[in-house]
A and B are shown apart, each in its own frame.
Chain A
Amino acid sequence: MEAFTTHTGRAVPLRRSNVDTDQIIPAVWLKQVSRTGFEKGLFSAWREDPSFVLNDPAYDGASILVSGPDFGTGSSREHAVWALQQYGFRVVIAARFGDIFRNNSTKMGLLPVVLPGDVVEELQAAAEADPKTEVTVDLAGREVRWNDRAVSFEIDDYTRWRLMEGLDDIGLTLRAADDIAAYENGRQPWLPTTV
């Protein structure tokens, strides 16, 4: 995955809560067997509404999505992350995320940033007042900055390190291959196999 240290871009305010992954990418788009082309499906039902924020040319090229709480709830489809990334987003900011979505994001290098609800609204208002507002998401410094504001966010050290190095989890885990083999030798004898 692509390493993430700091990113500066413009923000799109998505003033909705409970943005479930069925909205981010409807099921009809999940039939593909490749990992590409999902940007077309991003919010495809909502984008049919001309007043939907992603249809506003003022936000063309924005790379930070600032959403209401409970973003990415519901289905485990990682396609939601792929769609956001392939559309051009590097960061999603919200007060709460669905656990699976948040996990999937960090596996792919899309940074989920949790900020308090009132700060999210402040940032949304800034992006609405001036869509050209530059927002910096500094993972190294655990800080989001725009205009004269600087707000810190929390992320655990391990996930931050993986994102900053752009590390492949499978490669990391396979370094513990001996531990896995040792564990396997001690598994309970009644545990089922599928054969």
Chain B
Amino acid sequence: MGRTLAEKVWEQHVVRRAEGEPDLLYIDLHLVHEVTSPQAFDGLRMAGRPVRKPELTIATEDHNVPTLLGPIKDPVSRTQVETLRKNCAEFGIRLHPMGDAGQGVVHIIGPQFGLTQPGMTIVCGDSHTSTHGAFGAIAFGIGTSEVEHVLATQTLPAYRPKTMAIEVNGELPPGVTAKDLILAIIAKIGTGGGQGHIVEYRGEAIRKLSMEGRMTVCNMSIEAGARAGMIAPDETTFEYLKGRPHAPKGELWDQAVEYWKSLRTDDDAVFDTVVELDASTLTPFVTWGTNPGQGAPLGSVVPSPQEFDDPIQRAAAERALQYMDLKAGTPLRDIAVDTVFVGSCTNGRIEDLRAAAEILRGRKVVTRTLIVPGSMAVKKAAEEEGLDEVFKAAGAEWREAGCSMCLGMNPDTLAPGERSASTSNRNFEGRQGKGGRTHLVSPAVAAATAVTGRLTAPADL
């Protein structure tokens, strides 16, 4: 019987397999940031262990960093960032600190450097590591104990997850983006739908996505509960990688591409679970609740809890409407927002900024609007294209790179009761600041919303 993409990549990385034990899996790349690593480095020190492969490890500062120029004012945040610097110096790990041209959100810089490649295993103490699966890598988030384990051994013991195919047939209509697609998928299968699985996104609509769109889709795999998300590498992938600083060169490039072309699910392979979706029926999609599965087409209304047959979902919807201060039956287009956030590892790449700029060109925003590039390189690219001028002319704030308002560990937060349209990945209670209310949207919907002050699709303008 044939094998799936996930099975092929997994098998390639098994260091040791024994009856009744999890596989010991080799890790090709370990991404590190300041929040989930300090206790792991402490553990190494206490046990007198070195980092086994510093050359397969890279660190950046992203979660805590302010997006306005200047030092970190919060002393606790500053200590955390300084601790990362000390740890990277002590253990010999490459670090891209604040202000460095290579700094940025951890999941933006991996692909940008060409460190993320097909067929690899990639981990990070961050659940959105699933982003890297867009290249046909197995990439997943881990906790601090596992961060320490990878630092010490460059391996992880793990059971192979089940496999799920999400087949997206047909073409996305104009104006409907990768973000709308993944929000629709999560609404369909639920926040626990992918639990215990590695998802492979397949089908015509997926193949037609750019690498950046694919990253947006894989990024939110965790929001559907999946361990990881993957897309088989193809010419789009190779084209994106070629010439990047850490991509193979010369003869090695040819060897690599030949191998990468084998990284596809065999025609006779069988997935444990299959989900199908018709892309051509999709429209811009937004969330109304407090988990990413609570979403609906922008053209619809806030649902009534009574519509949910399952009592647990009904109770969750009731609670969500109360927290979000929304009434069932309200058209989603009538929801007024205070703040618009464009950025994050979900939508902080150059194509996302272009999509927002296209809407904002020649228009004015009526909300507080933060545009936060995902990395210093994205920022530079945007400025070379003049996108920063478009944003500033529209009245939006053009910021430095970082995670920013996605989780509000830096000063960019919502005030209690404040409502946002956000291109990030989580609408959990208090995610963007205590008492804040989040609607997840695409960059195009975010920009259109900033212009009208209400949830708006670009076509409405």
- A residues with a Cβ closer than 8 A to B are 15-18, 20, 22-23, 26-28, 30-35, 45, 68-70, 73-79, 81, 96-100, 103-104, 107-108, 117, 156-158, 169-170, 172-174, 176, 179-180, 183-184, 187-195
- Contact status B114-A192, CB under 8 Å: yes
Asked if B127 is an interface residue, CB under 8 A from chain A, the answer is yes
- Contact status A74-B36, CB under 8 Å: no
How many angstroms from the CA of A190 to the CA of B316 in the assembled complex? 48
Asked if B315 is an interface residue, CB under 8 A from chain A, the answer is yes
Asked if B74 is an interface residue, CB under 8 A from chain A, the answer is yes
A74 touching B149 in the complex, CB below 8 Å, given contacts A35-B42, A189-B255: no
Q: Which of A16, A45, A103, A184 has the most chain B CB atoms closer than 10 A to its own CB? A: A103
Chain A residues near B22 (CB, 8 Å)? 158
Pick the residue among B21, B47, B57 that contacts A194 (CB under 8 A).
B57
Segment with Cβ contacts to A, from B189-197, B231-239, B370-378, B450-458: B189-197
Chain A residues near B154 (CB, 8 Å)? 180, 184
- B residues with a Cβ closer than 8 A to A are 15-16, 20-22, 24, 26, 28-29, 35-36, 38-39, 42, 47, 49, 52, 54-58, 63-64, 74, 76-77, 79-80, 83, 94, 114-115, 117, 119-120, 125-127, 129, 140-146, 148-149, 152-155, 157, 159, 161, 191-192, 195-196, 222-223, 225, 227, 246-248, 252-253, 255-256, 259, 290-291, 293, 312-313, 315-316, 319, 407-409, 426, 428-431, 434
- Contact status B145-A73, CB under 8 Å: no
- Contact status B428-A170, CB under 8 Å: no
Given contacts A170-B149, A188-B256, 16 further A-B contacts (CB under 8 A): A16-B316, A20-B291, A22-B407, A31-B74, A31-B76, A33-B79, A73-B225, A76-B129, A100-B127, A157-B20, A158-B20, A170-B47, A183-B15, A188-B259, A194-B94, A194-B115
A22 touching B192 in the complex, CB below 8 Å, given contacts A77-B143, A103-B143, A158-B20: no
- Contact status A45-B429, CB under 8 Å: yes
Chain A residues near B431 (CB, 8 Å)? 22, 27
A27 touching B149 in the complex, CB below 8 Å, given contacts A22-B431, A73-B192, A100-B142: no
Chain B residues near A174 (CB, 8 Å)? 152-153
A45 touching B434 in the complex, CB below 8 Å, given contacts A18-B291, A169-B149, A180-B153: yes
A176 touching B127 in the complex, CB below 8 Å, given contacts A33-B79, A100-B142: no
By beta carbon, the residue of chain B nearest A1 is B145
- Contact status A107-B153, CB under 8 Å: no
How many angstroms from the CA of A183 to the CA of B291 in the assembled complex? 41
How many angstroms from the CA of A45 to the CA of B430 in the assembled complex? 8
Chain A residues near B313 (CB, 8 Å)? 17
Pick the residue among B24, B56, B159, B259 that contacts A173 (CB under 8 A).
B24
Closest Cβ of chain B: how far from A150's Cβ, in Å?
25
Chain A residues near B161 (CB, 8 Å)? 99
Closest Cβ of chain B: how far from A44's Cβ, in Å?
9
How many angstroms from the CA of A96 to the CA of B76 in the assembled complex? 34
Pick the residue among A32, A96, A192 that contacts B117 (CB under 8 A).
A192
- Contact status B153-A74, CB under 8 Å: no
By beta carbon, the residue of chain B nearest A77 is B36
Between-chain CB contacts (< 8 Å), 30 pairs: A16-B315, A16-B316, A16-B319, A17-B313, A22-B407, A27-B408, A28-B409, A30-B35, A32-B76, A34-B39, A75-B126, A76-B141, A78-B145, A97-B195, A104-B145, A104-B146, A157-B20, A158-B20, A169-B145, A170-B148, A173-B152, A173-B153, A173-B155, A188-B256, A190-B248, A190-B256, A191-B117, A192-B115, A194-B94, A194-B246
Chain B residues near A97 (CB, 8 Å)? 195
Pick the residue among A69, A103, A192 that contacts B192 (CB under 8 A).
A69
How many angstroms from the CA of A81 to the CA of B39 in the assembled complex? 14
How many angstroms from the CA of A18 to the CA of B186 in the assembled complex? 14
Chain A residues near B408 (CB, 8 Å)? 27-28
By beta carbon, the residue of chain B nearest A97 is B195
Closest Cβ of chain B: how far from A67's Cβ, in Å?
11
- Contact status B146-A173, CB under 8 Å: no
Pick the residue among A22, A73, A96 that contacts B429 (CB under 8 A).
A22
By beta carbon, the residue of chain A nearest B435 is A45
Chain B residues near A81 (CB, 8 Å)? 143
